[in-house]
Structure 1
Amino acid sequence: MNQEFDYIVIGSGSAGGTLAARLSASGEHTVLLIEAGGSHRQLLVDMPAGWGRMAFDKRYSWGHETEPERWAGGRRMKIPRGKMLGGSSSINGLLYVRGHRQDYADWVSAGAAGWSWPELLPHFIRTEGQQHLDNNLHGRGGPLIAANQKNTDPITDAMIEAAVQAGLERVDDFNDGNAGGAGIYQVNVLDGRRSSIARNAIDPAMSRTNLTVLTQATVQCITLSGRTATGVKYRLPDGSEQLAKARREVLLCAGAIHSPQLLMLSGIGPAAHLQEHGIAVAADLPGVGQNLQDHVIAPMTWRLRPEVPGMNAAFRGIGLAGSMLRYLFTRGGAMTSAASEFGCYFRSDPALNYNDIQVFGLPVTGATEQTVNLGQSPKPESIPGFTLAPNQIRPWSRGSIQLKASDARVHPALRMNYLDDERDRKALLYSLRFLRRMVEQPALAKLVAAETRPGPALHTDAELLEWLAPTITTGHHAVGTCRMGRLDDPFAVVTPDLRVRGVERLRVIDASVMPNIISGNTNATTVVIGDKGADLVLGRAALAPMDS
């Protein structure tokens, strides 16, 4: 293999895959895309409902876990991240969500000039493969499919009606920049198959002779000459180490966990921390690995009345076998389910100028408490029910990532600090009580036999917080550890054009550059970061901002 390229892209996830496809499109530049995992061409990846099995399986995911989390009862919580072509877009819950326009205004206020909602909307449109909505906010032909869910369950319809009865607005589009109301999420599913960046961006680009895709290759560090990035050192499955050189730039797209880890292993990060691990300091950037953010989810469940059918049976025993056969022969049925059908947004405090709670809803219940500590996917229960899972989408709590060793094979120390800020705890407690009121509305009350989690006996803040400790789980949305910012901000890692401060020919282009987490699922925004990043690398004029 030729070991010298114009651009080296580290990581083939939502940003990296989009970026590599864009950079190689003209045929003018040679591009190496390096991925630590293998191929995405597997049944469990294609099958939408496979997300529930892949998240905690090291054949598909990195297998990260946190340090003990105080507000999670001292648990080491599992943090799934995709390890294959397409990265987390190949194992995620398939929801297409853009967040709220205020998210991006806050980015600009934090020093990310050029990243406002009007400036990013053209990128959302260009990267979207919209299948149903038809207006100037949406686009067709992009690599990320956004489609209505087919054959949603009647319980989902009852959830929407109950939300309206509880005071929320019924909406058909969560992605107009307002992120409010109640409705059904659009999903990254087309013809019953997962629509990932691997399928729609990387696969088509692999026919180009100027793009080399290297799988099962784990990057150990970025090579530097002084303060200039020159290439990467990577390890193959046989243990051998190889070097690849970049004539133009090294583009780090390894995600919010691995991008800061690789920067630190390369001598870019907090000087004292690097020296503790015997790493020579090339650039003292104290913000590397700081500002870690994620959404934390609290699954609540209710048991349905005996005469009301749910979807649990479709994922158990004979029902599961039937669902699998139906999927294999028709690409339909329960195995096309995404992580959520129902969705809603509301605010925990009327003084807020944006909604800070997002909810996921499915007519399925799983034995969460028995499996979450083991990092296993919840198994559907025998008695039909439904789940409503709220999460605080603009958390105040911040975590960090630090090295445990000067070796890329050793996972870094993750401290998510979920619910560490009292404002996050208050918001999540409010959401539990709001959803209880929602389920008491006529549309759902007539279907419900009993609340099963937390259970009707728990009411006080102390009781509910005690229940949350063994229950909360990751939203799978880690961001922020190499954040954008102004030159006078000592904790900013990259400039608004995504260049690493103090280092030439090196950029970070992935979810780690977000100054603040967005109001919802992060995949679509991460794709946009890859798309805008390609324009920045190629020196192309910004797409004209939109007024919406």
Structure 2
Amino acid sequence: MDPHSANEANWRLFRRMVEDGFKQPDMRNVIGVLLTLGLCFDAPQFMPTNLLHVPDGSLREIIAEAFLVDEFLKGDFDGNDSMVLFQNVRPTTFSELHQNGINLKQTYANFISTVCYRLVHEETILSVTFINGPVHRRNLHSVFSRLNWVKRSKLDEKLKRWVEESVALPLLTSFNFQNAMSDYDLKSAMKKGLLQMKCRLEKFNSLGTHSWNITYSIQFKSNLRSSPFPQILCAYLLTLKYVDTFNRRRWKPSKLVPVSVIGCKVLPCIPCNRFVKEATSAPAVTYYDYIIIGGGTSGCPLAATLSQNATVLLLERGGSPYGNPNITNIANFASTLSDTSPGSPSQQFISQDGVYNVRARVLGGGSALNAGFYSRAAEAYVKRAGWDKSATDKAYKWVESKVGFEPPMLEWQSAVRDGLLEVGVLPYNGFTYDHMYGTKIGGTIFDNQGHRHTSADLLQYADPNRIIVYLHATAQKILFRNKPGKLRPETYGVEYKDANGVTHKAYLAREYKNEIILAAGAIGSPQLLMLSGVGPAVHLRAHEIKVVVDQPMVGQGMADNPMNVLFVPSPLPVEVSLIQVVGITRFGSYIEAASGLSFAYSWAERLSKDYELFLNKTGQSMTMEAMAKAADTMNAIVNTTIRGGVILEKIMGPISTGHLQLRSTNPDDNPEVTFNYFKEPEDLNRCVEGMRTIIDVINSKAFSKFRFSDTTVQALIDLMLSVPVNLRPKHPSAAVSLEQFCIDTVMTIWHYHGGCQVGRVVDNEYRVVGVDGLRIIDGSTLYDSPGTNPQATVMMLGRYMGRRILYQRYSKQK
């Protein structure tokens, strides 16, 4: 059998094994394909569980619990960390496997999770190669110069055929290869001439065995920044094994067999891996010009900007968003929010209002968790905030150059747009970042391939020689001191703990203009301020916290924009989409939509996890029969989610506000938060008008093909009332009263703000009133939510204030 026929046989066998649930015992002849396609360090949930338990033991030497670097093999590549070989591995579980990938990233600064599995012998894989960046040139030689045109043509033809087969394979199986093979349409890119192929010859040594491999690197031709495939490090690697004694001058393409087929997956590159480190590697004591607490939506652009002219330490209590498919892939949006395990990117909390909420615990903050909509604040908002319009516009453009995209308009979103126009949400403003009345297509932080770009991407602007970012660095408190002759206390450092619980201290360098800047968000900033002794004195003393400044307004003015939705089952399949179209009404409600996402999964999980909490918080009688009925409803929605979507409304403002208090003195604990949804009648009136607009859109002619003809709006309302979207009591009148429906089914849209507002806790330069050397620059300083989504403005604020702080710093020097 010739190599190509053997390859086709492998594909057929692999497809059959996938469809049979990997029940076939004999896997050796397709083992390279299995590992290449089915095993990804950053997507362990996609790997079939029984792949780890093969009866014939052929995988025994492959999957690691603890990777042991073979120094001899590593030496073959001259100690280059971008190509590291591992051996002596044994089976393990998913979580351990995923943790290994995390550990490798922490150990090797240049490691990005590009994974290539290499067959050394025909029946056993003895090593796993992780490749990141350019392949080291030692023992690698170009073979193109030694090939005549005929051989090159034949080799290219064979290569293209293998690539096309590899890309097509996931489409022919029922197994979900998302984030492994089908993220990018290489076939289409090849036809458009966007790819280039580089051939390299590698002499490979392992356990005394010498072999030669031909490795093809398939890369995008265009510059990364202007490419239609942004942020791509490398496309795929194809490793070919020469089946005969190799002679560089007389070898034949027909003797090549694809042993690892497509061995590298496409991943967004980590833009800042030089200076992003685990806090466990931090010295016990360090000194910086600026210490920023919170690597979130505002903290990342702020740190990047300040690093251009000063030394900066950025402390982030979570991990990196890169390599986590729940964050990076649009289809996994709901999975990110439902993952509330310890250390996950989203930390769940339940407000005193009985509404589920999450706060970010990851570099990039809320921009790593949200629905991705990108829209600027209205001009009136900018003017009211006292920001310079010209500088604000420049800051917005700076942000948009990295994370702003125009979303592709497909059928569901187009139907919602046309429905809004049909019911009178006019005029149509097309695609724009600007906030204006009518219907528009807004921006998104998801690129055209559905990959998320967060505020962490803005760290690419940082000066790598002046900035350090520590991950899993939880600030314990801000350090204050009283200097002789000064009336106000001043900050001089921060105490933080790493993932192992070890305490570190970061101090401001001895320069009077140096500052600590809180950017921990609307929940984290007022919490840490209180833990540090700045807040309501009575409340602080109740928790035995030494009072530095009695500031009763810390934690006041907390607000969240309430969201209410209707789920609309569709007779037609719908695309996966998050927020793209928005109807900005004149009565103060914003109408948006999303489709094809299994939000129901996260609701179902919460239903089981929070059963006891439900009873305790609401006092509502909840029998097991009622629980079972709710679960059945959830299962029905889960089965139809991919054929439907939600249309939601969010009110502007809001006018209703609440407060935040400490539950404990542990910074890892959630504070007690009350938002007082719909406390003010005007907020409730806006919700009712918004729900009426949604009903009109659902009944519109433009939206008719996505609505079952026999489904009534009342049925959709009843459906939402049967779903446990929150922990609030349900009232029978909610089925006939939109006012009660809004109150009973309210959810968060994660737009928290307030708690450290300008004019109350900070001045117009965002300096904390009553102390020196401390600013707060994040959403906690806002009185109301800017535009339809605050993330664009919060990122802009980080850049805007960074520039302003540097100007003030150096203008004083001059």
TM-score interval (norm. to shorter):
0.7 to 0.9
Q: How far off its partner does 1:81 sit? A: 2.0
Please state if 1:123 is matched with 2:395. yes
Q: Report what 1:232 is aligned to.
A: 494
Which of residues 458, 462, 474 in structure 2 aligns to 1:218? 474
3-state SS of paired residue (1:3) = strand
Q: Which residue number in structure 2 is paired with residue 18 of structure 1? A: 301
Gapped regions of structure 1 (runs ≥ 5): 70-74, 108-113, 130-142, 312-333, 349-355, 486-491, 543-548
* Matched letter for residue 202 of structure 1: L
Other-structure match for 2:159? none
What is aligned with 1:170? Answer: 428
1:45 Cα deviation from its structure 2 partner: 2.1
Are 2:551 and 1:289 aligned? no
2:410 to 147, 153, 159: 153
Residue 125 of structure 1 deviates from its aligned partner by 2.5
Deviations 1:460-509 (A, max 9, x none): 89633443445321111111211112xxxxxx111111100011010001
Q: Which residue of 1 aligns with 2:345?
A: 61
Match of 1:362 among 581, 594, 612: 594
> C-alpha distance in 2, partners of 1:295/1:284?
29
* Paired letter, 2:542: E
Asked whether the 8 Å contact 1:56–1:63 carries over to 2, the reply is no
Q: Give the partner amino acid of 1:88.
A: G
One-letter amino acid matched to 1:101: E
Aligned amino acid, residue 171 of structure 1: N
Native 8 Å contact 1:270 1:285 kept in 2: yes
Query: What's 2:786 paired with?
Result: 518
What does 1:468-487 align with in structure 2 at a 5 Å threshold? Answer: 468-485=742-759
1:46 aligns with 2:328: yes
CA RMSD of aligned residues (A): 2.7
Q: CA deviation at 1:66?
A: 3.2
Matched position secondary structure for 1:382: helix
Higher radius of gyration, 1 or 2: 2
Does 453-462 or 35-44 show the bigger shift? 453-462
SS in 2 for 1:434: helix
TM-score, normalized by length of structure 2? 0.54
Post-superposition offset of 1:538: 1.3
Distance in 1, matches of 2:705 and 2:359, equals 39
8 Å Cα contact 2:375/2:435 also seen in 1: no
The match for 2:185 is none
**Alpha carbons of structure 1 residues 82 and 409: separation in structure 2 relative to 1, 3 Å:** closer
Aligned-partner residue type, residue 464 of structure 2: R
Q: Which structure has more RCO (C-alpha within 8 Å, separation ≥ 6)? A: 1
CA 1:67–1:511 in 2, change beyond 3 Å: closer, same or farther?
closer
Relative to 1, partners in 2 of residues 1:221 and 1:162: Cα closer, same or farther, differing over 3 Å?
same
What residue number does 1:208 align with? 464
- Aligned partners of 2:317, 2:335: CA distance in 1, in Å? 20
1:92-107 aligned within 5 A: 92-107=370-385
Equivalent AA in structure 1 for residue 474 of structure 2:
T
Q: For the structure 1 residues 60 and 221, does the alpha-carbon distance in structure 2 shift closer, same or farther, using more than 3 Å as the test?
A: same
Give the residue type in structure 2 aligned to 1:523. Answer: Q
- Other structure's SS at 2:679 match: coil
Match of 1:421 in 2: 680
- 3-state DSSP of counterpart to 2:366: helix
Q: 1:241 corresponds to which residue? A: 503
Once residues 334 and 744 of structure 2 are traced to their aligned partners in structure 1, the CA distance between those partners, rounded to angstroms, is: 19
Corresponding letter in the other structure for 1:35? E
Q: Give the Cα–Cα distance (whole angstroms) in 2 for the partners of residues 85 and 202 of structure 1.
A: 10
Question: Counting helix residues as a fraction of each chain, which structure ranks higher?
Answer: 2
The Cα of 1:387 is off from its aligned counterpart by 1.6
Distance 2:608 2:689 in 1: 28
Name the counterpart of 1:318.
none
Shift of 1:541: 10
Distance in structure 2 (CA, Å) of the matches to 1:375 and 1:153: 36
Counterpart residue number, 1:404: 663
SS of 2:517's partner is strand
Alpha carbons 1:535, 1:541 under 8 Å: kept: no
Mapped contact 1:106–1:516 kept (Cα < 8 A): no
Which residues in structure 2 correspond to 1:364-513 (within 5 Å)?
A: 364=596, 366-367=599-600, 370=604, 380-382=638-640, 384-449=643-708, 450=711, 451=713, 452-455=715-718, 463-485=737-759, 492-513=760-781
Out of 579, 586, 592, the residue aligned to residue 347 of structure 1 is 586
Q: 1:385 to 1:17 in 2, by over 3 A?
A: same
Residues 104 and 461 from structure 1, CA distance in 2 versus in 1: closer, same or farther, beyond 3 angstroms?
farther
User: What are the superposed Cα offsets for residues 434-472 of structure 1, whole Å, 9 maximum, x if unpaired?
Assistant: 221222222123542223431499998963344344532
Question: How many residues align structurally?
Answer: 470
What is the distance in 1 between the residues matched to 2:678 and 2:432? Answer: 26
The C-alpha deviation readout for 1:384-414, integer Å capped at 9, x for no partner, is 2232100112211101111112221222101
Look up the SS of the partner of 2:360 in the other structure: coil
- Write the distance in 1 (CA, Å) between the matches of 2:346 and 2:444: 24
Show structure 2 runs of 5+ residues with no match: 1-282, 483-488, 611-633, 722-731
Deviations 1:249-284 (A, max 9, x none): 111110010100111111111111111111121112
d(CA) in 1 for partners of 2:734 and 2:523?
A: 36
1:199-228: CA deviation from partner (whole Å, max 9, x where unpaired): x222553x7122111111110100001210
CA drift at 1:302 = 2.3
The answer as to whether partners of 1:78 and 1:375 remain within 8 angstroms in 2 is: no
CA contact (8 A) 1:342 1:362 kept: no
Contact map agreement 1:394 1:519 (CA 8 A) in 2:
no
Letter of the 1:309 counterpart? P
Quick one: distance in 1 between partners of 2:692 and 2:707?
17
Q: Distance in 2 between matches of 1:22 and 1:204?
A: 7
CA deviation after TM superposition for structure 1 residue 191, in Å: 5.0
Whole-angstrom distance in 2 between the partners of 1:118 and 1:270:
38
